[in-house]
Amino acid sequence: MSDGADSCWQDTLSDEAYRVTRCGGTEAPFTGQYWDTKTPGTYHCVCCDVALFASATKYASGSGWPSFWQPIAEGVVAERRDVTHGMVRVEVLCAACEGHLGHVFPDGPQPTGLRYCINSASLRLEASET
Residue 12 to residue 14: CA distance in whole angstroms: 7
Which entry of 45, 47, 94, 117 is annotated as an active-site residue? 117
User: 94 an active-site residue?
Assistant: no
CA–centroid distance for 42 within its chain: 12
Q: In degrees to the nearest 10, what's the CA dihedral of 74, 125, 9, 1? A: -20
Residues involved in catalysis: 117
